[in-house]
Amino acid sequence: MKNTKSDLELWREEKMVPRKEDTFNYGSAINKIEEERINFLDECIIADTRVIIPDGITEIPEYAFGECEFLKSVIIPDSVKVIGKKAFANCAILENVYIPDSVMEIREEAFMCCISLFGSFVLNNVTEIGNHAFYGCTNLVSVSIGDKINVINYSTFGHCTNLNNIAIPNGVTEIGGSAFISCTSLGKAVIPDSVTKIGDYAFSACMSLEDVFVPDSVIDIGEGAFKNCISLNSVSIPDHITKLGVSAFGISRQLNLIGEKSSLKRITIRKNTSAGSTNLIELLTSMGVDAKLIKVV
């Protein structure tokens, strides 16, 4: 009799067999993760390339569908609060995921390298998005984040090359290192006045980014934060920044970027104190910025 099970169903059956290495000398933590994953897979409803997670499930466990090459669509019920580490990582043909407002936590690498994941996400009630959560989702277009999150973590949206709209909510205090690195379609980044720190390489290689307004709340701009933003024309920064990392705006004396490889035409310093402006001008020129580009207002 011909087997009528889909590739996804066969994949599930294979993954529900406990791995041999998890039954020997790995400790209870590993075995518990494997047990949770197997129980979860058993409850899921599969139809061809689609997975329906049943209502009542509160957490999608670690590695649940990680590296599943047959998964194309997922429906997550309103009962789910947590999407676990690498839950859907490297699902290369995953296109559609509904993330309900009930979800409060998206853990590290949850959707990493889901290269077919398309469209927009609205994350109204999320309080934490882990490192690399959406890293390499090259077809993701737009993300709206609610006001319950405080930190955009390390490389959360790195290499999302089609991301052209990101709403960073007021209440975020830190944009982490490489948070939006190589988001090459991002033409505008509105930084709210709750942010105090922009991490190393946070917006590096955002090649469509043209103008940056750094609010008065920011005191720390990390190394290479806006490096290799080849379309960057103007930057406005407050004069009381206490830390400005090397090549923060893609400018360094060693690389001689001004006038050769940099499009930056103006850096505006918003003056609060004369000493602050003077100190920042000295810092910028010591990094290789042509003093003619600096304007104090």
pLDDT for the residue numbered 246: 85
The predicted model scores a pTM of 0.88
Give percent of the chain with pLDDT exceeding 70: 89
Question: Is the pLDDT at 75 greater than 50, yes or no?
Answer: yes
CB atoms within 10 A of CB 244: 19
Q: Which residue has the higher pLDDT, 24 or 168?
A: 168
pLDDT for the residue numbered 256: 36
Rounded average pLDDT over 241-262: 61
pLDDT for the residue numbered 24: 43
Q: Which two tokens stand for residue 97?
A: 């995921």
Q: Which two tokens stand for residue 104?
A: 């409060």
HEC secondary structure over 105-143: EECCCCCCCCCCCCEEEEECCCCEECCCCCCCCCCEEEE
Q: Which domains does the chain have, with CATH numbers?
A: 1-105 (no CATH), 118-297 (3.80.10.10)
pLDDT for the residue numbered 216: 93
What's 244's DSSP letter? Answer: E
Do the strands 50-52 and 266-270 form a parallel or antiparallel pair, or are they unpaired?
unpaired
